[in-house]
Amino acid sequence: MAKKDKYEQVAEQIGDLGAEETAQEHGLGKLKNEKAYNPMALSPEEEASKNAFLERERRMKARLSQQAEPVDEMPEPRTIGVSEDTSISEGWVPIVREQMGIRSEFYPEDWEFYIRPATVQAIKNWIGIDEKNALQMNNTFDEIIKMCVRIKDGQQVISWSHLNTWDRFWFILKVRELTFASNKQTITFEDNCQECDEEITFELRSSSLHYEFPDEDVVKKHWNAADMEWNIDPAEYGVEDEEPITLWVPTLAKQQAIIDWAQRQYQRKKKLDETFVSTFLPWMINKASRDEAQFDRQVQKIEKIYKAWSVPMYELMTDIIRNITINPKETLKAVCPHCGEEVISNVQFPNGVKVLFATETRVQKFGSR
Ligand SMILES: [Zn+2]
């Protein structure tokens, strides 16, 4: 597929964030209307995989309720807990939000998340990925989310693109775990323990993803869960004569709008302020307009505000963004079997991200680090 076609496709998706189209496509929008709903046909393998996944989830849930421990501190967190729901029979598996830990707080309370196994088509797209093309990689990641993740607010389907950017990889791993649940394929790689320097094996799975959370008191003080925004008064931090700050969590929709916008700027031979675009802009957009010209103006307005910041304000903003960001990149955690410390390693794909959905062999190894 030519790059431009690919790109245009993405632009179309972004232009269609309303999700009506995807709701029809995947049927979750009609959960309660079971008669009208045409269930996704599962092959016997997919059915077996789904059942194995659900069985594990049920056991996990039972264990969890016995232990009554915080979900993100489970000793052997295989996968997730699953709530009883009719949609299971329709191919969509509900995700228990609590396992997202603090990340769950950055979604409206009523949102429910569902996943389904990657379809053959999704896996083909994945395997066809050109890993040298960052834009295409980004699109392929989004495609898996689009096809295999549903968000619902009551009866309303929320576009997949409203996932927070830092949750994308977690959901991809969830989908992978569901897809291969009956035929467990692990992806492991070696790294040296930062504490004792012994070699440890990291396993790539959703529950071993490592997240850095904002400080609890920072969230308590400045996160406005009712309006889903960060509110900070610069004066509180000794920065005078600046307007109160409102920031919004970066989502896949906003990320894509920014990528598209950056492409347009590039075509117009306009220079980009990289710090502004990558660090501040994703947080300063409330809702990305679907209209290109309007989005251009949105960015222009925000850049004006950014450029008007005093040095202390810039310093404060840098500090804030650093502290409220959950993971700028994917990292894994493991407990070192040699020294017992919890250690962190970067997720790297020297053999490519293709291994995530590769199906030929049981155990895939990636990376020498
Ligand atoms: Zn160690």
Of 3-7, 111-115, 161-165, 234-238, which gets the smallest average pLDDT? 3-7
Q: Is pLDDT at 275 greater than 60 in this prediction?
A: yes
User: Can you name the residues that pair with 149 across neighbouring β-strands?
Assistant: 115
Residue 29 binned pLDDT confidence (cut-offs 50, 70, 90) = very low
Residue 196 CA, ligand 1 centroid: distance in Å: 4
Q: Which residue has the higher pLDDT, 19 or 157?
A: 157
Q: Please give the Cα distance from 250 to 285 (Å, whole number).
A: 8
How far does the centroid of ligand 1 lie from the alpha carbon of residue 342, in Å? Answer: 8
How far is the centre of ligand 1, averaged over its atoms, from the C-alpha of 218 (Å)?
A: 31
Ligand 1 midpoint to CA 51 (Å): 37
- pLDDT for 122: 81
What is the phi/psi pair of residue 145, to 5°?
-60, -45
Give, to the nearest 10 degrees, the angle between helix 134-148 and helix 168-179: 60
- Rg (Cα) of the chain, in Å, rounded? 21
46 Cα: distance to centroid of ligand 1 (angstroms)? 39
Distance 192 CA to ligand 1 centre (A): 8
Query: What is the distance in A from the centroid of ligand 1 to the CA of 202?
Result: 12
C-alpha 332 to ligand 1 mean position (Å) = 15
Distance in Å, CA 353 to ligand 1 centroid: 27
Residue type, 248: W
Question: How many A from CA of 188 to the centre of ligand 1?
Answer: 17
Q: What is the pLDDT of residue 196?
A: 93
Q: How far is the CA of 169 from the centre of ligand 1 (A)?
A: 26
Name the nearest CA neighbour of 178 among 57, 50, 66: 50
pTM of this structure? 0.75
Distance 328 CA to ligand 1 centre (A): 25
pLDDT surpassing 70 at residue 106: yes
Phi first, then psi: what are they for 304, rounded to 5°? -65, -45
- How close is the Cα of 240 to the center of ligand 1, in Å? 47
Give, as residue ranges, everything with CB less than 5 Å from ion ligand 1.
193, 195-196, 336, 338-339
| Ligand 1 geometric centre to CA of 75 (Å) | 18
List all residues 6 or more positions away from 344 whose beta carbon is below 8 Å from its beta carbon. 194, 210, 331, 332, 333
211 CA from centroid of ligand 1 (Å): 20
Residues in contact with 342: Cβ distance below 8 Å, sequence separation at least 6, in sequence order = 333, 334, 335, 336
Q: What is the dihedral of CA 79, 253, 166, 350, to 10 degrees?
A: 90
In degrees and rounded to multiples of 5, residue 167 shows phi and psi of -95, -5
Mean local confidence (pLDDT), 291-316 = 96
Q: From ligand 1's centre to the CA of 325, what distance in Å?
A: 28
Q: Please state, rounded to an integer, the average pLDDT across all residues of the chain.
A: 79
368 C-alpha vs ligand 1 centroid, how far in Å? 17
pLDDT at position 63, please? 56
Report CA(333)–ligand 1 centroid distance (Å): 12
